[in-house]
Amino acid sequence: MYQFSYADVLADDSRAARQEERQAFDIVLDRLETARRKGPNSGEAVEALHLLDRFWKFLMEDLAHPDNGLPKPLKTNLLQIGVWILREIEGLRQGRKHSFDALIEINATIRDGLQSTP
Protein backbone atom coordinates (compact mmCIF):
# COMPACT_ATOMS: atom_id res chain seq x y z
CA MET A 1 0.00 0.00 0.00
CA TYR A 2 1.22 3.48 -0.86
CA GLN A 3 1.50 6.22 1.70
CA PHE A 4 2.02 9.79 0.69
CA SER A 5 2.58 12.75 2.91
CA TYR A 6 0.53 15.85 2.33
CA ALA A 7 3.75 17.68 1.44
CA ASP A 8 4.56 15.08 -1.24
CA VAL A 9 1.11 15.46 -2.79
CA LEU A 10 1.43 19.26 -2.79
CA ALA A 11 4.91 19.06 -4.31
CA ASP A 12 3.61 16.76 -7.05
CA ASP A 13 0.71 19.14 -7.72
CA SER A 14 3.11 22.06 -7.92
CA ARG A 15 5.40 20.22 -10.35
CA ALA A 16 2.43 19.23 -12.51
CA ALA A 17 1.19 22.84 -12.53
CA ARG A 18 4.64 24.13 -13.57
CA GLN A 19 4.76 21.53 -16.35
CA GLU A 20 1.34 22.61 -17.64
CA GLU A 21 2.41 26.26 -17.51
CA ARG A 22 5.60 25.46 -19.47
CA GLN A 23 3.54 23.62 -22.07
CA ALA A 24 1.20 26.60 -22.40
CA PHE A 25 4.17 28.93 -22.91
CA ASP A 26 5.57 26.50 -25.50
CA ILE A 27 2.31 26.66 -27.46
CA VAL A 28 2.20 30.46 -27.30
CA LEU A 29 5.85 30.72 -28.33
CA ASP A 30 5.36 28.36 -31.25
CA ARG A 31 2.51 30.55 -32.52
CA LEU A 32 4.54 33.73 -32.03
CA GLU A 33 7.50 32.25 -33.95
CA THR A 34 5.17 31.36 -36.82
CA ALA A 35 3.68 34.87 -36.73
CA ARG A 36 7.17 36.39 -36.84
CA ARG A 37 8.02 34.33 -39.94
CA LYS A 38 4.71 35.12 -41.69
CA GLY A 39 4.64 38.81 -40.76
CA PRO A 40 2.51 41.08 -38.57
CA ASN A 41 -0.31 41.33 -41.12
CA SER A 42 -0.74 37.57 -41.58
CA GLY A 43 -3.58 35.42 -40.35
CA GLU A 44 -1.04 33.58 -38.20
CA ALA A 45 -0.16 36.87 -36.52
CA VAL A 46 -3.82 37.59 -35.77
CA GLU A 47 -4.23 34.12 -34.25
CA ALA A 48 -0.98 34.34 -32.27
CA LEU A 49 -1.86 37.74 -30.82
CA HIS A 50 -5.36 36.57 -29.91
CA LEU A 51 -3.95 33.51 -28.14
CA LEU A 52 -1.28 35.55 -26.35
CA ASP A 53 -3.89 38.10 -25.25
CA ARG A 54 -6.17 35.41 -23.82
CA PHE A 55 -3.24 33.59 -22.21
CA TRP A 56 -1.90 36.66 -20.41
CA LYS A 57 -5.33 37.84 -19.31
CA PHE A 58 -5.86 34.39 -17.77
CA LEU A 59 -2.44 34.54 -16.06
CA MET A 60 -3.09 38.04 -14.76
CA GLU A 61 -6.47 37.04 -13.38
CA ASP A 62 -4.85 34.10 -11.61
CA LEU A 63 -2.02 36.26 -10.27
CA ALA A 64 -4.51 38.78 -8.87
CA HIS A 65 -6.58 36.09 -7.12
CA PRO A 66 -6.20 36.12 -3.32
CA ASP A 67 -5.52 32.36 -3.26
CA ASN A 68 -2.49 32.66 -5.54
CA GLY A 69 0.44 31.52 -3.41
CA LEU A 70 3.27 33.27 -5.21
CA PRO A 71 5.23 35.87 -3.24
CA LYS A 72 3.74 39.34 -3.61
CA PRO A 73 6.83 40.90 -5.28
CA LEU A 74 6.86 38.16 -7.92
CA LYS A 75 3.12 38.55 -8.55
CA THR A 76 3.55 42.31 -8.88
CA ASN A 77 6.40 41.92 -11.36
CA LEU A 78 4.48 39.38 -13.44
CA LEU A 79 1.39 41.60 -13.46
CA GLN A 80 3.52 44.52 -14.69
CA ILE A 81 4.96 42.30 -17.42
CA GLY A 82 1.42 41.28 -18.33
CA VAL A 83 0.35 44.90 -18.73
CA TRP A 84 3.39 45.54 -20.95
CA ILE A 85 2.60 42.44 -23.05
CA LEU A 86 -1.01 43.56 -23.55
CA ARG A 87 0.25 46.97 -24.71
CA GLU A 88 2.69 45.33 -27.14
CA ILE A 89 -0.12 43.18 -28.52
CA GLU A 90 -2.22 46.27 -29.12
CA GLY A 91 0.71 48.01 -30.77
CA LEU A 92 1.12 45.12 -33.20
CA ARG A 93 -2.60 45.01 -33.89
CA GLN A 94 -2.72 48.73 -34.67
CA GLY A 95 0.43 48.71 -36.77
CA ARG A 96 2.46 50.86 -34.36
CA LYS A 97 4.79 47.90 -33.73
CA HIS A 98 6.14 45.54 -36.35
CA SER A 99 8.27 43.00 -34.49
CA PHE A 100 7.39 39.98 -32.38
CA ASP A 101 10.93 39.73 -31.01
CA ALA A 102 10.35 41.35 -27.61
CA LEU A 103 7.19 39.31 -26.99
CA ILE A 104 9.01 36.11 -27.89
CA GLU A 105 11.99 36.98 -25.71
CA ILE A 106 10.03 37.83 -22.56
CA ASN A 107 7.72 34.83 -22.84
CA ALA A 108 10.69 32.50 -23.46
CA THR A 109 12.47 33.95 -20.43
CA ILE A 110 9.46 33.32 -18.20
CA ARG A 111 9.02 29.81 -19.63
CA ASP A 112 12.68 29.04 -19.02
CA GLY A 113 12.33 30.27 -15.44
CA LEU A 114 9.53 27.77 -14.94
CA GLN A 115 11.80 24.99 -16.22
CA SER A 116 14.34 25.74 -13.51
CA THR A 117 11.68 25.78 -10.79
CA PRO A 118 11.65 22.55 -8.75
Q: What is the pLDDT of residues 68-113, one digit of tens each?
A: 999 999 999 999 999 999 999 999 999 999 999 999 999 999 999 9
Answer yes or no: is 1 within a domain: no
Residue 2: is its pLDDT beyond 90?
no
pTM: 0.85
**37 assigned to some structural domain:** yes
Residue type, 82: G
Q: How many domains does the chain have?
A: 1
Please indicate, yes or no, if residue 18 is contained in any of the structural domains.
Answer: yes
- Give the Cα separation of 36 and 75 in Å (integer): 29
Which positions ≥6 away from 59 have C-beta within 8 Å? 78, 82
Q: Which domain holds residue 82?
A: 6-115
Other Cβ atoms less than 10 A from the Cβ of 78: the count is 18
Report residue 45's pLDDT band, with 50, 70 and 90 as the boundaries.
very high
pLDDT > 60? residue 24 = yes
Give the span between the Cα atoms of 16 and 54, in whole angstroms.
22
User: Rounded distance, CA 77 to CA 10, Å?
Assistant: 25
In this prediction, residue 58 has a pLDDT band, given cuts at 50, 70 and 90, of very high
- Three-state DSSP at 86 gives helix
